[in-house]
Amino acid sequence: MWKIGDVEIENRVVLAPMAGVCNSAFRLTVKEFGAGLVCAEMVSDKAILFNNPKTMKMLYIDENERPLSLQIFGGEKETLVEAAEYVDKNTTADIIDINMGCPVSKIIKCEAGARWLLDPNKIYEMVSAVTERVSKPVTCKMRIGWDEDHIYAVENAKAAERAGAAAISLHGRTRVQMYEGQADWDIIRQVKEAVNIPVIGNGDVTSPELAEKMLKETGVDAVMIGREALGNPWMIYRTVHYLETGELIDEPEVDDKVEIALLHLRRLVDLKGEKVGVMEMRKHASWYLKGIRGNGKARKALNQAETEAEMVKILTEFREEMLAQQTKVEA
């Protein structure tokens, strides 16, 4: 058990906020696999203030997801503060997270996301403006720097701490690296040693063993898992279990993967309606089947499916086919 502000978190495994992925259907599924904290996908401050219908739906939180961190982004102090106040007063989010790590060009052009990494003074100014106006704990999700010549991770983290941030999530890559190359855990360690608030380490945690290694080598309070959880909430469960017991649980069977894919599909359709839910489930379904030998035909069919019934049929038939092959091999 550890805390961000007054929010108690029961273990050291956190789901990263991933754009286009971390809606309530996905978060709830991952939460049920044991994540101590789940983070919602980032939302635009201006979209909140303009009452954009799609954005307002993104603020939906199932009570069973909590504790939950809701992430906002923006480049202007006034609108960022107003959006944070809205989240503070009108949602059941436990934590308000400010994105200062997104490397995507359209976010950078708004003077938001990773653009902040070049200016510790802006980080202080923006974060302090938010923390002064909200009651929920405020956290910051950042990268180690803009590029290898502009790595201000320690200065940026200290600025956020002085501004009242309750915790920092640090991705060990620069903006220029995007998601390529190797995450620099040593800089994560330096940041942890430089501040007195919790630090969550992010980057290259691709197995339960590496989660434990990051905790030991950097001293961070928790590890954040992102892409490894796509179609694989077992990564969360296996990591929590390994950190608590030292026991490494086997990877899931095909039957397990299909069962959870079907659950995820139902939740997405309930959340977004059949048309949008099925479209979004296409990528998730492919992730669930990733690594299973002979999945090509099913993945192709799933990417063309237009109804929930079609997807259920494809996934169910694939499971039956795989189980039949397994029975044949065992016989």
> Residue 326: how many CB atoms within 10 A of its CB?
13
Residue type, 294: G
Choice among 39, 102, 110, 140 that is catalytic = 102
> How far is Cα 191 from Cα 71, in angstroms, rounded to an integer?
21
Beta strand residue intervals within the chain, DSSP E: 2-4, 7-9, 13-15, 37-39, 43-44, 68-73, 95-100, 138-145, 167-174, 199-202, 222-225
Q: Beta strands 199-202 and 222-225: pairing type?
A: parallel
Q: Judge residue 327's burial from the number of C-beta atoms within 10 Å of its C-beta, 0-12 exposed, 13-18 middle, 19 or more buried.
A: exposed
Q: What is the largest CA-CA distance in the chain?
A: 68
> How far is Cα 150 from Cα 83, in angstroms, rounded to an integer?
29
Give, for 142, the enclosing helix (H) or strand (E): strand 138-145
Decide if 102 is catalytic. Answer: yes
> How far is Cα 296 from Cα 232, in angstroms, rounded to an integer?
18
Catalytic residues: 102
